[in-house]
């Protein structure tokens, strides 16, 4: 695992290009799977194999390939660890590889949604009302995706 007290992670070290051997789970042309400060058994990071910080920085085929790997990993976590599902979280504030966290949800776990969007969540009270023009603009922008 990266960043323990006896072996601090240098700021320049990329946890995906140069992962701690004990943290590297899988690496291929599709992507890289590592464990880094896990919140639960089965919490892994699935990253693009190339430096591209944000989803919009990736080639769509590379993004599809990485998400195919995330899908396979998620299926294994559910099957082998007995998770109900995995939450897929992408934040991207720190690392130079676009990546997703796969967070297992267990049978008796609370739903994550209310913690993110509900009364205790970061977004509560900051919702905006989109106008019909805003919705039309989105529709027009995404007509040719």
Nearer Cβ to Zn ion (3/121): 3
- Three-state SS for 33? strand
Q: How far is the CB of 111 from Zn ion (least distance, A)?
A: 33
Q: Which residues contact 93 (CB under 8 A, 6 or more apart)?
A: none
Least distance (Å) from Zn ion to the CB of residue 18?
A: 7
Q: How far is CA 94 from the centre of its chain?
A: 12
- The answer to whether residue 17 forms part of the interface with Zn ion (CB under 5 A) is yes
Per CB under 5 A, contacts with Zn ion among 22-81 are none
Tell me if 47 sits within 8 A of 99, measured CB to CB.
yes
Q: How far is the CB of 47 from Zn ion (least distance, A)?
A: 8
Distance between CA atoms of residues 119 and 81, nearest Å: 31
Helices (H), the chain: 60-81, 113-117, 132-142
Nearer to Zn ion, 32 or 67 (CB): 32
Q: Which is nearer to Zn ion, 87 or 98 (CB)?
A: 98
Q: Binding residues for Zn ion, per CB under 5 A?
A: 14, 16-17
């Amino acid at each position: 695992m990266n960043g323990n007290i006896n072996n601090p992670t240098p700021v320049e070290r990329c946890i995906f290009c140069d992962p701690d051997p004990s943290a590297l789970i899988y690496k291929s042309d599709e992507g890289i799977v590592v464990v880094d400060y896990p919140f639960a058994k089965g919490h892994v990071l699935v990253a693009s194999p190339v430096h591209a910080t944000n989803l919009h920085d990736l080639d769509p085929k590379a993004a599809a390939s990485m998400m195919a790997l995330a899908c396979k990993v998620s299926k294994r976590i559910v099957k082998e660890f007995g998770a109900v599902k995995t939450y897929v979280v992408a934040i991207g504030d720190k690392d130079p590889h676009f990546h997703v966290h796969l967070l297992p949800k267990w049978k008796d776990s609370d739903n994550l949604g209310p913690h993110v969007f509900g009364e205790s969540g970061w977004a509560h009270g900051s919702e905006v009302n989109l106008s019909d023009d805003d919705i039309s603009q989105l529709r027009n922008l995404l007509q040719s995706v």
